[in-house]
Amino acid sequence: MDATQTPSPKPTGDAERVTPMMAQYIEIKTANPDSLLFYRMGDFYELFFEDAEIASRSLGIVLTKRGKHQGADIPMCGVPVERAEEYLHKLIACGHRVAVCEQIEDPAEAKKRGPKSVVRRDVTRLVTPGTLTEDALLDDRRENVLAALARQRGGEGAGEDGYVYALAFADISTGSFRVIETHSGRLAADLARVEPAELLLSDPVYDEADFREIWRSLPAVTPLPKESFDGAGAERRLAGFFGVATLDAFGAFSRVELTAASAVVAYIERTQLGGRPPLAAPQREAATDIMVIDPATRVNLEILRTTTGDRAGSLNAAVDRTVTSAGARLLARRLAEPLTDPARIAARLDAVEALVEDAELRAGLQQRLAGAPDLARALARIALGRSGPRDLAAIGRGLAEGTAIARLLLAGEVGEELHANALLFGAVDPALPALLATALADELPPYRRDGGFTRAGFDADLDAARALRDESRRVVAALERRYAEETGVKSLKIRHNAVLGYYVEVSQQNADRLREPPFGAVFVHRQTMAGAMRFTSTELGELEAKIASAGERALALEQAIFDRLAAAILLEAEAIRAAAGALAVIDVTAGLARLAVEEGYVRPEVDGGLDFRLEGARHPVVEQALRRDGGPFVANDCELSPPEDAKGRAASGRIWLVTGPNMAGKSTFLRQNALIAILAQTGSFVPARAAHIGVVDRLFSRVGAADDLARGRSTFMVEMVETAAILNQASERSLVILDEIGRGTATFDGLSIAWASLEHLHEVNRCRGLFATHFHELTALSQRLARLVNATVKVKEWEGEVIFLHEVVPGAADRSYGIQVARLAGLPASVVARAKAVLTELENADRAAPAQRILDDLPLFAAINRAPASAAPVELAKADPAAEAVKTALAGIDPDEMTPRAALEALYQLKAAARGR
């Protein structure tokens, strides 16, 4: 059972008594029915009833019992407070929500109300997948996004369903906050880009049948009442959260965008119970600013993760040379959402180029960056009251390193983007890092409750309290020496026991000395012993009280110092957040520059045209893998730019039809061109000798074979669904990568689908594309499709062996070499021999002839070839006499008046008319 469905224990009636502690638990659980309740009891968080059963299964811990409720044993399990984060991580990963219930009262105060009084407890935090801030619960190289989806009917930008949607997404662990308007057709692509850890949406949207597959693909979806997405009070709620009278300074937002952003803020306030993370003001993104990449394409191209979910082997892993966690997160975001504005892309490329050309500056920056902590996440924990001394130190150290990095950048010629980010460090009060360095010790404990994090000499009162706590013997000995000197009684001793505490002891002979003036006013007789007398003094009593409370006082003083330092940091929160963002940008830029130098990448030319020209291009991931194995990577050119016509340039880009055997490298070639487009529009240099790319608005990829049996989809069905999405959405500015369309069904069915799809891409979508196939019949289309170019992957046969050269050249393959590949895979020799014999018989049938007949005789092709890209489905180009005869015969038939015999005769007549062709 999911935690969101956990039933609360029913309150008991008067017939059964419940312990005060269990009554308190039931009351708090009833108020939090959708969460597992971590109920603090001493050094453990305990769970009861069905919460315990769920936690026991999810965490693999022992389920016990405690007392009875309504006649049945109460299930119970618990986790140590010291290891709570570890268990929270597991529960969140299982999709549960957790309400953390802490003691909010000193046990001594509870005892004053009576011996059986229960310490007051309450929920101090709701832990959900999208609201995590602790390092132990987060991946330091990935954002942890909380998103909300709102919609409204009608308006500009509405999709086919008549609604406009908006996504607001925030990472409370770093403070980023963005909103974007979208529609039903690209909603899946936007969610795949954002990768929310938790998505908030209204109950009606959650129940939409058309979106259920999208919701199932997300790690956590939280339906909320429709009232949570009320647009009427959205602007007021946002203004209140950010402490402003109006949102005008933040920019112009649509009503649906404000509704989504307000839902995020309301959920944060609810889960953080009054804590306010340092969120940036919401930034509005235009839908046209970012390359659209649908979920299937992201999976096929393995941009951030491989198809198995691993980071290793992905594009992100191959190009990541960042040295900070914030830089790694920013690089992943940039790869997930490449830009479509050539000016912004050029600004990023300028910054990378500046560091490519200045090796000394690049090395110096990365050396400094390696010592910079995660400012943004430390700041968020401080703002939410979940920080420790190490977070304070991280702010100080990060600002100090950032200031040094800014000086390095401002001393050189680094371009506008790096220069602007360097200037951001000047907005932080320089006294803050100095204060933190002075206040904090070199060795810091993980938790503030441990104390010992303040540097000696920073606070005189704290030093004195520590001296009493840690050096009480020395302090008492010093007082003893002073008393002995002042009274002249050399044998005077200060001793301690459990009854009297600290006391002064002298022999009977010297007792009168302490009774005489002026000492009689200082020392007070406490006890007479055989041969000795014991006294106390006001000073000794005060010292004893100080010694007894020194530890508590020292810890209290340190907590006050911690709060003071945290307050000083939060006064600079906005400037610190900007500085954290600047460090991430600098780290990404330096990392991409290092990548370019190490891997031999070049700066691409990116503009608003339709060019796509790569010379000597390589696959960024496969190249590195081959190098590790000691093998070379064969570079290839790719030219998808519009061909020149009589007027200088055709309106649309080329499509390459790539043929060649299995294992020759067709899929690698297709993917590398798509990945290079992503890198270029991310603002990175690319693996090629030269590159000129006109901005790609949408990237589509259908590569590989996979089924989706959970949703009742075969491999072929998945292939067709993804192909349909491409043919319905690709535009002239899109880049389409298609591999082996139609291979999942019967040969002639598959050939027909591939044929028609290729025509549609050329004539209707008019996009730039790469189309790999084993249907060699398709190469005949190049005779009639002006922008279709045949290309093949070269192979060489040598003494019965096939050698893959991995070189893409103009032309068409005449065979697939599938039998040779099968032999390499280890098929029995008898099977290989029989396959060769069958192949020879099939090849004698001359399969090329049907393809030529289609080109010559199918009138639909000629009509499509002349139709504009936006034309509706076309009619036949010319009348077919046989078809007209059939139409005439059908028009004279009245099925309702025909006898079975007459119907049979009519069928024969229709067949004869059709044969008249």
pLDDT value at 460 more than 70: yes
Cβ-based burial of 570 (10 A; exposed 0-12, middle 13-18, buried ≥19): middle
What residue has token string 């399969």? 847
Question: Does 780 or 147 have the greater pLDDT score?
Answer: 147
Instruction: Extract the runs of DSSP E, i.e. beta strands, from 703-773.
Output: 735-739, 768-772
* Distance of alpha carbon 691 from alpha carbon 778, whole angstroms: 29
Domains and CATH numbers, the chain: 3-127 (3.40.1170.10), 139-289 (3.30.420.110), 320-451+572-598 (1.10.1420.10), 460-559 (1.10.1420.10), 605-814+846-861 (3.40.50.300), 881-915 (no CATH)
> pLDDT tens across 542-565, in order?
888 888 788 888 999 999 999 999
User: In one letter, which amino acid is 440?
Assistant: L
What number is the average pLDDT over the span 425-429?
A: 93
Read off the DSSP letter of residue 704. S
Average pLDDT, stretch 228-235?
Answer: 91
Does position 706 have pLDDT exceeding 80, yes or no? no
pLDDT above 80 (res 831) = no
The model's pLDDT over 268-309, given as tens digits with 9 standing for 90+, comes to 999 988 788 999 999 999 888 999 999 989 999 999 999 888
Residue appearing with tokens 């009636």? 13
CA–CA gap between residue 678 and residue 180 (Å, rounded): 21
**Range 804-825 average pLDDT:** 75
Query: Residue 241's pLDDT band (boundaries 50, 70, 90)?
Result: very high
Q: In which band, very low, low, confident or very high, does the pLDDT at 861 lie, cut at 50, 70 and 90? A: very low
Q: Output the CA torsion 871→877→883→889 (10° steps).
A: 60
Start-end of H helices in 771-814: none
What are the backbone angles phi and psi of residue 103, rounded to the nearest 5°? -75, 125
Angle at the Cα of 426 from the Cα atoms of 422 and 429, rounded to 5 degrees: 145
pLDDT band, very low/low/confident/very high, at 851 (cuts 50, 70, 90) = low
Contact call for residues 331 and 352 (beta carbons, < 8 A): no
| Chain segment 64-76, per-residue pLDDT in tens | 988 888 778 899 9
Backbone angles phi, psi at 577, to 5 degrees: -60, -40
pLDDT band at 121 (very low <50, low <70, confident <90, very high): very high
The whole-angstrom separation of Cα 396 and Cα 444 is 13
Of 320, 311, 335, 417, nearest to 366 (Cα)? 320
Residues contacting residue 576 through CB under 8 Å, at least 6 positions apart: 375, 379, 395, 399, 428, 569
Q: What is the rounded average pLDDT of the residues 204-229?
A: 92
Percent over 90 (pLDDT), the chain: 58
Q: What is the mean pLDDT of residues 410-425?
A: 92
Higher pLDDT, 369 or 666: 369
User: Rounded CA gap, 301 and 739, in Å?
Assistant: 12
Q: 158 falls in which pLDDT band (50, 70, 90)?
A: confident
For residue 687, give both structure tokens.
Answer: 């693996």
Q: Is the pLDDT of residue 860 over 50?
A: no
Q: Is the pLDDT of residue 399 over 60?
A: yes
**Residues that constitute the known binding site:** 660-667
* pLDDT score at 707: 44
DSSP state of 422: H
What pLDDT is recorded for position 107? 79
Q: Which residues pair with 533 in a beta bridge?
A: 506, 528
CB atoms inside a 10 Å sphere around CB 332: 23
Higher pLDDT among residues 841 and 795, named by residue: 795
Compute the residue count for the chain. 917
pLDDT in the model for residue 68: 80
β-sheet bridge partners, residue 165 = 151, 182
CB 77 within 8 A of CB 87: no
Confidence grade of residue 709 (pLDDT, cut at 50, 70, 90): very low
Residue partners of 778: CB distance under 8 A and separation at least 6: 657, 751, 754, 755, 758, 771, 851
Is residue 714 over pLDDT 90? no
Average pLDDT, the chain: 87
Helix residue spans in 440-572 (DSSP H):
460-470, 472-487, 508-515, 538-571
Quote the pLDDT of residue 705. 55
Pairing of strands 198-202, 292-293: unpaired
pLDDT at 871 (0 to 100): 38
| Higher-confidence position of 531 and 903 | 531
Distances in whole angstroms, Cα of residue 139 to Cα of each of 94, 257, 377: 16, 28, 11
Give residue 588's pLDDT. Answer: 98
Compute the average pLDDT of residues 837-842.
69
Q: Are 412 and 361 in contact (CB under 8 A)?
A: yes
Spatial contact of 659 and 779, defined as CB atoms under 8 Å apart:
yes
Q: How far apart are CA 414 and CA 603, in angstroms?
A: 16
In the chain, what percentage of residues exceed pLDDT 70? 86
The pLDDT tens digits of the residues spanning 468-486 come to 888 888 889 999 999 999 9
Q: Which pLDDT belongs to residue 740?
A: 83
Q: 444-454, pLDDT tens digit by residue? A: 999 898 899 99
Which of 218-222, 657-661, 912-916 ranks highest by mean pLDDT?
A: 218-222
pLDDT for res 276 = 87
| Contact yes or no for 164/256 (Cβ under 8 A) | yes
Q: Is the Cβ–Cβ distance between 727 and 757 less than 8 Å? A: yes
Cα of 856 vs its chain's centroid, Å:
53
Query: Which residues lie below 8 Å from residue 10, measured CB to CB, with a gap of 6+?
Result: 70
Q: Is residue 8 pLDDT above 70, yes or no?
A: no
Taking the alpha carbons of 271, 272, 277, 280 in that order, is the dihedral positive or negative? positive
Q: Which of 741, 729, 735, 669 is nearest to 705 (CA)?
A: 741
Tokens of 171: 């990472």
Annotated binding site for ATP: 660-667
What is the helix (H) or strand (E) element at residue 497, kind and residue range?
strand 493-497
Contacts of 568 (CB under 8 A, 6+ apart): 432, 435
